[in-house]
Structure 1
Amino acid sequence: MTPIESAPINGPSTPGQASLYQQLRGHLATLKLHDAAEHLPAVLDAAHTEGLSLTAALERLLAIEVDATEARRLAGRLRFASLPTPATLADFDYDAAPGVDRHLIDELATGRYLESATNILLIGPPGVGKTHLAVGLARAAAQAGYRTYFTTAADLAAIEGRWATTMRFFAGPTCLVIDELGYLPLPAEAASALFQVVSQRYLKTSIILTSNRGVGSWGEVLGDTTVAAALLDRLLHRSVVLNLDGDSYRLRAHHARGEALRAATTGTRQPLR
């Protein structure tokens, strides 16, 4: 280490040092390193008290700017993603969904499936956690640096007639979540819109799709067995299919509230029946 690198960095205690300090702040501001400029006094103090080398102090200062930049970028990706809930994979109730392979979800959380444009299909009755998993996986993708967007089948289908301004948008995100396919019947033009989006993304980018209907019923959902077959052909070519089952989260919450009320009334009045 050179003498300059090993020399301690002191705060601006003399006019010359104060001038140099202001120049340094000015350089950081010109380069738009605003977080580094804000934390410069603290880093200089730490360098002095801890005896940091010039290299170590510079690394600490730039690390602050890098962390702040990454935080801003993540916040931007999450705003763009338009996730409907704050759900994460960490707070998913695996005990209530014994059919869900936790190791598989952990693997999907790494985002490696996005590199091969693999799709994820989450299929099961209402309330078993499909949307929770879809949101959690989308959040994990955004946190890993991937551009992500969440929509519903009904909203996506409404783009019919506006292809010039919307098709490029839906083709763009690396991870596109399409929620609630099958909850509402889709007219023919809506099924066509959905097919166009899936075709545009085929073998290029990933789709996470949730549905309360098994794939054998998608001809009925889309109102056209030919379109359904072509859609499934593209979705299933590279895919992970998770079938969820069990009681609805809302039904379990209702039962839990009932049990809590029974426990609260025991000993003071007749138990609820």
Structure 2
Amino acid sequence: MFQPMADRSKLETLATCAFVRKADNVLFMGPPGVGKSHLAVALGVKAIKNGFSTTHFLLDDQMHVLKGDAAVPPRRLKAKRYLNSVLLVIDEVGFRPLDRQESNLFFRLVSARYEKGSIILTSNKHVRDWPEIFAGDEILTTAILDRLLHHVHIIHIDGRSYSLREIDGLLRPPNPAPAQGGDVKTA
């Protein structure tokens, strides 16, 4: 089902993959469970169907890979799939803060892809709160955002979690049956 809180016309425009051709970025923001990841993956699949190489990472998995490549000189990193894919999807930015090393590695990744390849990010945090994600470093966060937001399409999704909405009925106690006839006595 379509996410009713997202701008349908923006999503339809993104589904043309013109943003990928222009090396623009996409940022999905909103609370957990509203469909940001689902929409990001759908755009990734659409990009693949349009012939674009696409790589998807959860941020924690991306950090593990970046840490493993931390000592590799930048010129040798060009062969890495996360750099040479036309589209890179990074999911779950903001679920946990990154330490100083991770923040610097994330900056290195964003800088290497700047105006060369598209990035789709999903985040449960508004960009004004991103310094708390990136080791509390406002200067580094500004540098990251400068590159990410230069050519960006932002989709903000509000609403309640789909999962929580579905189990909401299960969590509510059943309504007691109304008393039938007779007097109710209290002790």
TM range (shorter): 0.7 to 0.9
CA distance in 2 between counterparts of 1:167 and 1:226 reads 26
Q: Where do 1:69-84 residues align within 5 Å?
A: none
**TM superposition shift of 1:174:** 0.6
CA distance in 2 between counterparts of 1:179 and 1:104 reads 20
Q: Which secondary structure does the structure 1 equivalent of 2:95 belong to?
A: coil
**TM superposition shift of 1:120:** 0.2
1:178 aligns with 2:87: no
Residue type matched to 1:211 in 2? S
**TM superposition shift of 1:205:** 0.7
Q: Is the 8 A contact 1:156 1:193 kept in 2?
A: no
CA distance in 1 between counterparts of 2:43 and 2:145 reads 21
Q: Is the 8 A contact 1:167 1:197 kept in 2?
A: no
CA distance in 2 between counterparts of 1:232 and 1:126 reads 21
**TM superposition shift of 1:166:** 5.5
**Bigger proportion of residues as strand:** 2
Q: Which ranges in structure 2 are unaligned for 5 or more consecutive residues?
A: 179-187
RMSD: 2.2
**TM superposition shift of 1:185:** 1.5
Q: Which ranges in structure 1 are unaligned for 5 or more consecutive residues?
A: 1-91
C-alpha deviations, 1:184-220, integer Å up to 9, x for none? 1111111111111110110011000011111011111
Residue range with higher mean Cα deviation, 247-256 or 209-218: 247-256
**How many residue pairs align between the two structures?**
171
Q: State the percentage of identical aligned residues.
A: 37
Q: Is the 8 A contact 1:154 1:186 kept in 2?
A: no
Question: Match for 1:160 among 67, 86, 94?
Answer: 67
Q: Which secondary structure does the structure 1 equivalent of 2:141 belong to?
A: helix
**TM superposition shift of 1:160:** 2.0
Q: Which secondary structure does the structure 2 equivalent of 1:122 belong to?
A: strand
- Calculate the TM-score normalised by the size of structure 1: 0.58
| Structure 2 partner of 1:234 | 147
From the superposition, tell whether residues 171 and 229 of structure 1 become closer, same or farther in structure 2 (CA, over 3 Å). Answer: same
**Bigger proportion of residues as helix:** 1
Higher alpha-carbon Rg: 1
Ranked by relative contact order (alpha carbons within 8 Å, sequence separation 6 or more), the top structure is 2
| Structure 2 partner of 1:142 | 48
Deviating above 4 A after TM superposition, structure 1's stretches of 4 or more consecutive aligned residues are 256-259
1:245 aligns with 2:158: yes
- Calculate the TM-score normalised by the size of structure 2: 0.83
